[in-house]
A and B are shown apart, each in its own frame.
Chain A
Amino acid sequence: MTKLTIEGKTYSCQPNETVLEALLRGQVAISHACKKGTCHSCMVRSLNAAPPEAAQAGLKSTLKTHHHFLACLCHPEQDMVIKLPDQSEFYTDGTVVVNDMLNRNTLLLIIAFKDAFEFNAGQFVNLQRADGLTRCYSIANTPQESNTLEFHIRRLSGGRFSEWLHDGIKAGDTIAVSEPRGHCFYLPERRGQGLLLVGTGTGLAPLAGILTDALAHGHSGPIYLFHGSREVEDLYRIDELRQLVAQHQNFHYMPCLSGPHVPEGFTAGRANEVALATFADLKGWRIFLCGHPAMVNQMKTMVFLKGASSADIYADAFLSTPA
């Protein structure tokens, strides 16, 4: 018999029981449906040990790394500490150390922490205001760069949180930051694989982290970044990215403009459409799609139809919070 612990409460798991069966017997309100590992609705996370391999069948490798597993497939091999999905989140206070503009409507926000903040480049966190208002923002740097998190915040006219960050925050202020979430990040495996990064607007934030991480890990396959906006004034980090192109033979950067005015050195068209036109076949590529939800969802299907395997498609749609 093994012990399962959730939020300090302990449940027993009999030798032939799954974690799901044991928790249901213990009256834990855990979501579940097919009980066969197909629907993934009972996905939980182990906090103390790697879960049995069989309980991770069919999960994306990023979820596996974070010890997510399917309760219905799990026969524990040892005592486990388990986190249910959407349990109360834990927030840490950070201090604003930089708030500069990256372009006319995008704020560079850097938040410092006392202790190292564990995350994977490309994940996102929830930022929370004192009154409880909460929004998701992607981390734009990598964990190797000291105890800070970098964010790119686009001002949404009339937007409650983004306007507050732009106008109401100064260096030295504290801000509450949640645990990192999401599984749109780089894993240092299959380093010769082609990487296609497509982002609109501040979709560049997670992609910048992913790009830095891949280059730092010596990724040797071709890396293509397509960054799009309507006008050139809404792109950013153009010179820095061109600098990276000069330094890394395998890195290619295509700034794309969908508006009528396209200066030399920029590509006319939407970033996603330019990217699709660039590749006849994406079989074997790893794809990262971030930013505008309609772009992200449409591109997921398009790159899949061009041959990318669904397990190799990582995406963050910047969905807004319904009013």
Chain B
Amino acid sequence: MSESQSNEEATTSATLYERIGGEAAVNAAVELFYRKVLNDYRINRFFGNSDMDTQIAKQKAFFTMAFGGPNNYTGQDMRNAHAHLVKMGLDSSHFDAVMEHLGATLVELNVPAELIAEAAAIAESTRNDVLGK
């Protein structure tokens, strides 16, 4: 008990990105996540069109952001980057599907539930910008 408490104290100053495992965690998560997305008929048309390396780089940026890691994305960037997908019909149900895969990926990687909740909250906070609302 006391041990876990002192652990918690030692880690409260660390960012979510650091606590989750930094770049190594991002790399592991991106591969799993992107396979799930490409296999999901509900949303894969939004992901499959450009070159795979480009897509993987984009997913890396997404995970770095969701983990609260170093990124410079503004709400406006999010809007610009997704505007063409909104034109293709991207809506809240697709955003939900992505959130589902994000959660499942982190569960598969044994990330503790409270960290998953934090990451999900950060990703969720981009919903309106991504959907251009």
A contact residues vs B (CB 8 Å cutoff): 34-40, 57-58, 297, 300-301, 304-305, 309-310, 313
From A36, A39, A57, A304, contact of B52 by CB (8 A) = A304
19 contacts between A and B (CB under 8 A): A34-B71, A35-B72, A36-B64, A36-B71, A38-B64, A38-B70, A57-B23, A58-B27, A301-B48, A304-B35, A304-B38, A304-B52, A305-B38, A309-B31, A310-B34, A310-B52, A310-B53, A310-B56, A313-B52
B31 A297 Cβ-Cβ under 8 A: no
B contact residues vs A (CB 8 Å cutoff): 23, 27, 31, 34-35, 38-39, 48, 51-53, 56-57, 60-61, 64, 70-72
A305 B61 Cβ-Cβ under 8 A: no
A38 B52 Cβ-Cβ under 8 A: no
Query: What residues of B have a CB within 8 angstroms of the CB of A58 in the complex?
Result: 23, 27, 60
Query: What residues of B have a CB within 8 angstroms of the CB of A313 in the complex?
Result: 52
B23 A39 Cβ-Cβ under 8 A: no
Q: How far is the CA of A40 from the CA of B71 in the complex (A)?
A: 13
Query: What residues of B have a CB within 8 angstroms of the CB of A38 in the complex?
Result: 57, 60-61, 64, 70-71
Chain B residues touching A, majority SS: helix
Q: Which residue of B lies closest to A34 (CB)?
A: B72
Query: What residues of B have a CB within 8 angstroms of the CB of A309 in the complex?
Result: 31
Q: How far is the CA of A305 from the CA of B33 in the complex (A)?
A: 11
Q: Which residue of A lies closest to B72 (CB)?
A: A34
Smallest CB–CB gap between A56 and chain B, Å? Answer: 12
Query: What residues of A have a CB within 8 angstroms of the CB of B61 in the complex?
Result: 34, 38-39
A305 B31 Cβ-Cβ under 8 A: no
Q: How far is the CA of A310 from the CA of B27 in the complex (A)?
A: 10
Q: How far is the CA of A95 from the CA of B34 in the complex (A)?
A: 47
Decide yes or no: A39 and B57 within 8 Å by CB, A57-B23, A300-B52 being known contacts. yes
From B53, B56, B57, B70, contact of A36 by CB (8 A) = B70
Smallest CB–CB gap between A28 and chain B, Å? Answer: 21
Q: How far is the CA of A38 from the CA of B63 in the complex (A)?
A: 11
Query: What residues of A have a CB within 8 angstroms of the CB of B71 in the complex?
Result: 34, 36, 38
Q: Which residue of A lies closest to B27 (CB)?
A: A58
Most buried by B among A39, A40, A57, A297: A39
Query: What residues of B have a CB within 8 angstroms of the CB of A40 in the complex?
Result: 57
Smallest CB–CB gap between B81 and chain A, Å? Answer: 12
Query: What residues of B have a CB within 8 angstroms of the CB of A305 in the complex?
Result: 35, 38-39
A36 B31 Cβ-Cβ under 8 A: no
Most buried by A among B38, B51, B52: B52
Q: Which residue of B lies closest to A33 (CB)?
A: B72
Q: How far is the CA of A300 from the CA of B50 in the complex (A)?
A: 12
Q: Which residue of A lies closest to B59 (CB)?
A: A310
Most buried by B among A39, A40, A300, A310: A310
List 13 other contacts, CB 8 Å, given A37-B70, A300-B51, A304-B35.
Answer: A34-B72, A35-B72, A36-B64, A36-B72, A38-B71, A39-B57, A39-B61, A57-B23, A58-B27, A297-B51, A300-B53, A301-B52, A310-B52
Q: How far is the CA of A35 from the CA of B73 in the complex (A)?
A: 11
